[in-house]
Structure 1
Amino acid sequence: MKITPGPRGTARLDLSTAERNLFVSVFSDTAGLLGGGEDDRQESDGLTEAEQLARLVGMGEAVDRPTDPALLRLLPDVDPDDPERSAEFRRLTDFDLRESKLANLRTALHSLGASGRIVLDDAAQRAWLTALTDVRLVVASRLGLETDADLDELYAREDELPDSEAMLVTVYDFLTWAQERLAGILLDSLIPTDEEDPT
């Protein structure tokens, strides 16, 4: 995989078929976890206009706290020490937060549908960075990572890991590298050159 800066603040991604398929897989899996699958769309389509509006503005019924640790990492409690406040905040914000995250994942997936080199403009780079953050949170949760020390401990026993866990570590490293590379390109594009007026 090559991620390089392009003209006018763009980023260029040259991916192998395997790399492209991996991105599609992790972005799609995370979207599914957030409820962005076909079943979720059908459920939303079954709501009346008033019910959809109530959901949109957080006036619907209470939203269950996620039981999946990975989903809870994506949709955390606003105040772990105050379940009632967290439940009310979740009721008011859950739908909007999910949709925001899904929008970034869909943007990334849409760009992966292009053939050949992928060129990301500023908005697409930001969507990718946010989507990669969410995907890495999911993978970290599956690996039981909470701190940098957890990751160091995992690396220390990497040779002893089962194949499935070792593969997840490889995926996590791949996603981390891609995110850091994209972030660097985006930051560099925000720094004015000698020819540009810094104001």
Structure 2
Amino acid sequence: MRSTYILSFLRISVSVLFYILLVFSVLFLVASIASIAGNDKAGDLTKKSYSYRVKAFGLQNTNEPFTYSQDSMVKYQKVADEYSVVLEPSSTIGYYALIMKLVYMALGLVILWNFKKIFKETSFRQPFKNTIIKRLRTLAALFILSDVIKLLDYFLFNSYLHHSIASTKFQLLTDVGNGVITGLVILVIAVIYERGKELEEENALTV
């Protein structure tokens, strides 16, 4: 009985997250188009600008010394070679940033959609289904693809940025690897599900 409640909670939660992301994506697209269309001054950064964190390599900046808390259990430091780069939406790099943000949102929607369908099709009476196995494989591929897109985004963003700021060796701060690990874990689950399906069919034939 408790498992049934957990499954119902997951179904509702994933559905809510999916529709929230869908609404947010539509609002973001509308706001971005309005920002680009309403920006008449070339080079004038607007409130709808895109912000990215970058790291500067090759500079001789020195980090500030650590500051300690009163009990000396915590220390913090201002990093000297990290910067916040703000992009104008109505520029080449701004258009690229918009496209990539939409790509990430679309990827998130597809992932949530597949999770939504998996939880909808899951049944404790018949847990092993071919449709669920296919969707798990699809999810594994999508998570791995997300890391590939992050790598491409890293190189393309840096290339666009260096055309605008050629004197500084800025590099986009990004996180790569989690998607591959998550994808491999889901792929293992898909293999286990597939084996469960085979055992279920063998037991049915035996009976």
Do they fold alike, i.e. is TM over 0.5?
A: no
Structure 2-normalised TM-score?
A: 0.34
- The structure that is helix-richer by fraction is 1
Structure 1-normalised TM-score?
A: 0.35
